[in-house]
Amino acid sequence: MYQGHLETLSNREDWERDCELYDPATSEPIDLTGAAIVVHVTREATPDDAVLTGSTSDGRVTITGPGTFAWHFTPGDVAGLCEGTYRAFVRVTIAGRTKQLFAGTLPVVHGGPP
């Protein structure tokens, strides 16, 4: 699992991220066929309560190729995030097994008038 900080996000812009997953033993892309991937954003003080969620089931997360996926949230999706630091989490479930891919922080700045 990767722990760290995501790039600062304005609450008036598209939030897009491309990700790649490789098998550490073979360096081959992970087969994501049938995978369920979810992205959660929470306030720092309440990591069990998502204020923004996207997944492969709602179309905000898409599998883009062998071992690759991406997420896309529109400015309307992120407009409710007030300026501050949030926590972000990414999980993948393949063949009934869930793996935490990322847990870290997401700084958000106010992007000005809509």
Mean pLDDT of the chain: 97
CATH architecture of 2-109: Sandwich (2.60)
What is the tens place of the pLDDT at every residue in 8-44?
999 999 999 999 999 999 999 999 999 999 999 999 9
Helices (H), the chain: 75-78
Q: What does the pLDDT read at residue 102?
A: 96
Query: Which of 33, 28, 45 is CA-nearest to residue 87?
Result: 45
Assess contact for 4 and 10: CB atoms under 8 A. no
Q: Does the pLDDT value for residue 105 go beyond 90?
A: yes
The one-letter amino acid at 2? Y
Q: What digits encode the pLDDT tens for the residues 55-71?
A: 999 999 999 999 999 99
pTM comes to 0.94
